[in-house]
């Protein structure tokens, strides 16, 4: 099993944020469709978000090792307790 590349990780994060933005857009503009007996967001009617809409690109610290990787947004890293930050730095060899 190979590790995902940094580009693949960024694509996954962008897709997740775009989906979240589209759901919010549908709720805000009341764009729903009937699925069985419930209403769900009609994501096909929502426009594609711009990078500015979803806060992309993001600044990250990426740590890779033989069997895995870790990607943390710098904004989130700054909010972490010092003990957690130090563990991440140690993993990355800093």
Instruction: State the Cα–Cα distance between residues 33 and 47, nearest whole angstrom.
Output: 16
Place of tokens 């769900």: 40
Q: Where are the domains of the chain?
A: 1-56, 59-94
- Of all residues in the chain, the percent with pLDDT exceeding 90 is 47
**Strand 38-41 relative to strand 32-35, pairing:** antiparallel
Q: What pLDDT score was predicted for residue 46?
A: 93
Checking if the pLDDT of 94 tops 70, the result is no
Quickly count: other Cβ atoms within 10 Å of residue 41's Cβ.
20
pTM: 0.74
């Amino acid at each position: 099993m190979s590790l995902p590349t940094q580009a693949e990780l960024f694509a996954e994060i962008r897709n997740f944020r775009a989906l979240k933005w589209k759901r919010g857009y549908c709720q805000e503009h009341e764009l729903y469709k009937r699925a069985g007996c419930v209403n769900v967001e009609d994501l096909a009617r929502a426009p594609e978000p711009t990078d500015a809409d979803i806060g992309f690109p993001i600044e990250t610290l990426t740590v890779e090792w033989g069997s895995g990787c870790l990607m943390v947004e710098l904004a989130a890293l700054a909010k972490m307790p010092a003990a957690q930050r130090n563990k991440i730095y140690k993993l990355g060899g800093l």
